[in-house]
Amino acid sequence: MGKYPEVEKKMNKRVDELNDELKTIRAGRASAQVLDKISIEYYGTMTPIAQVGSISSPDPRSLVIQPWDVSVLKEIEKSILKSDLGIAPQNDGKVIRLNFPPLTEERRKELVKTVKKYSEEAKIQIRNIRRDAIADYKTQKKNGEITEDEMKTIEKDIQTLTDNFIKEIDDISESKEKEILSV
């Protein structure tokens, strides 16, 4: 952590959130993380699919969800159909299979747009964190707690911090786009 641990902590948290969001975007291979945002109603509570059964990947293009309680199979199936996953679940009465078709060029382009959207939202939030932090320091300057020179240094340092986090977001985004576009 640098001179501004609170600012850095908030920016790091946002980058971590972006990484979590991008994990839910499937890029060619089957990954249990694509199910992270899908929940079912289980005993009156919205529960992530990963908490009601085991998820395995028998091969790179499929996932198998085996609930501990088979009575939730229909609920899991409905939740997957309602999600934006775009895959029809196959329910055999014991497990649900998800077969991931190879991504079409059109679907890859849609996914890249989604990555760009998530990245842009993250950058906006990083800039908002910068704006709020500088506003806090301006209030301190107005109250005579810091000098004009200290304020200029603080603004420069926080801008550098912001630039570094924006670059990190760009790198993460670029890496995910390459992953999606590689056939």
Give the whole-angstrom CA distance, residue 95 versus residue 129.
45
Structure tokens at 81: 């159909």
Where helices occur in 27-104 by DSSP H, the ranges are 73-82
Domains of the chain: 5-23+104-181 (1.10.132.20), 32-99 (3.30.1360.40)
Q: Record the pTM.
A: 0.71
R_g of the chain, CA atoms, integer Å: 22
Average pLDDT over residues 173-177: 93
Percent of the chain with pLDDT over 70: 97
User: For residue range 89-138, what is the model confidence (pLDDT) as tens digits?
Assistant: 899 989 999 888 777 888 888 889 999 999 999 999 999 999 999 999 99
Residue 61 predicted with pLDDT over 90: no
Task: Tell me the three state secondary structure of residue 112.
Answer: helix
